[in-house]
Structure 1
Amino acid sequence: MAAAKLTPLGVAVLELLHEKSMHPYEMAQLMRERYVDNRVKLKAGSLYHTVERLLQNAFIEIVDTQRDGRRPERTVYAMTPAGKDAFQQRAREMLGDLAAEYPQILSGLAVIDDLGADIALVELEHRVTRLRVGVASDQVILHRLREDGTPEIYWLDVRYAAAQRVFELEWTERLLADLSSGRIPFQDEPGSQPTLSLVTKESHERKTS
């Protein structure tokens, strides 16, 4: 992680250190409790590596060490003024700038006709099923956050991700309906009509009813 630009995980670490000094194990616990892994790739190794790089860049500093019984000694970190400045700058960029992103789904949509009707529809059906599971999981998380009284401003990222998944599900269901009905025809198999599976039929009936 270059000093000029913090990674999303680096921002997440500094976000926690805004609250108080803490050791990486506590950081990992809080990140899981707050569903940070919904927006950054969170692994123990990558977290400790990120903390080390933040320390090298003087964005954080060691302020204490703790020992709990026979457990290994834990190093406690705090954010430095330089870290706060870097955090503020990167956070502003992440919130206000439109970053160039290249979701895998865009490339997948571009090759649908090359895959052919049968394969493309099956894969889209798989996507719909997974999205439905994701939407249901999001609703459980949102309900839990509302019930436990967590201030809404602390889980705007969860709300955004949930709304985005709902949009993607609805859009993909419409695409399935359009492809299965022939409104958007496949060009590699002129005159052919794809076989409708259960998920495709359900999507088609929902959109045409």
Structure 2
Amino acid sequence: MARKVKNLLGLALLSYLRQDPKHPYELARTLKDNGDDRAVKYSHSSVYQVVAQLAGAGFIAPEGTSREGALPERTVYQLTEAGQAELHDWLHELIAVPNFEYPHLAAGLSFMAALPPSELLQLLDTRHGALLALRQELAELIHTATIVNGVDPLFLADEDYRLAMVESEITYIGHLITRINQPETGYGRVWREFHQEKS
């Protein structure tokens, strides 16, 4: 489905405006406070750009203005009925419909034969170590949020997903290293001959 606003930042802003009206600066602060840079790519200026796009599409509308101290007045936006419908439909699509994505690792693996096996094995070993560290970081983040700070696990579903993806990649990288190193049935023999490497 072609959406009037395609940037996933728009989904985040619609979600926060569903809670209550906010001005763009407050939306940017909410994104930062909730660590949403782990889910959507954004900058302070992009928040204002996407707010303008959402308003132009009729998904949000000015409710009024607010002022904090000596700061200039800021326009406060609220979610419209069309915005509520868009948020609902967008979430349905993202969660229910698998989407073919283009992860960087898949692109690298598509052309990995351009590197000698010995060089690739070093890179995979480096990545494996980084993934182990990331797994530890995610596990600690989830533990701290849920056990120490009492955050309902519902609000950590995205971090659980990231941890599952990291676990899967760790398993796959180990499998790939094994396939490269198997002397007869693995990838390595013809590949090494092509790069004139000794087994």
1:153 is the counterpart of 2:159: no
Cα 1:36–1:142 shift into 2, 3 Å: same
Query: Is contact 1:18–1:79 with CA below 8 Å preserved after alignment?
Result: yes
1:189 is the counterpart of 2:195: no
Residue 140 of structure 1, CA deviation: 2.4
Q: Provide structure 2 residue ranges, at least 5 long, that are not aligned to the other structure.
A: none
Q: Provide structure 1 residue ranges, at least 5 long, that are not aligned to the other structure.
A: 194-209
CA separation in 1, counterparts of 2:191 and 2:49? 48
Residue 130 of structure 1, CA deviation: 2.4
Query: Is contact 1:114–1:188 with CA below 8 Å preserved after alignment?
Result: no
Residue 14 of structure 1, CA deviation: 0.6
Q: Residue 163 of structure 2 corresponds to which residue in structure 1?
A: 162
What amino acid does structure 2 have at the position aligned with 1:127? R
CA separation in 2, counterparts of 1:68 and 1:74? 9
Q: Residue 101 of structure 1 corresponds to which residue in structure 2?
A: 101
Aligned to 1:188, the other structure's residue is in SS state: helix
Aligned length: 192
CA separation in 2, counterparts of 1:25 and 1:177? 50
Q: What is the identity percentage for the equivalent residue pairs of Structure 1 and Structure 2?
A: 26
Q: What CA RMSD, in Å, does the superposition of the two structures yield over aligned residues?
A: 2.1
CA separation in 2, counterparts of 1:145 and 1:129? 25
1:24 is the counterpart of 2:27: no
Q: Residue 201 of structure 1 corresponds to which residue in structure 2?
A: none
CA separation in 1, counterparts of 2:137 and 2:52? 33
Query: Is contact 2:14–2:87 with CA below 8 Å preserved after alignment?
Result: yes
Cα 1:99–1:140 shift into 2, 3 Å: same
CA separation in 1, counterparts of 2:119 and 2:36? 34
- For normalisation by structure 1, the TM-score amounts to 0.81
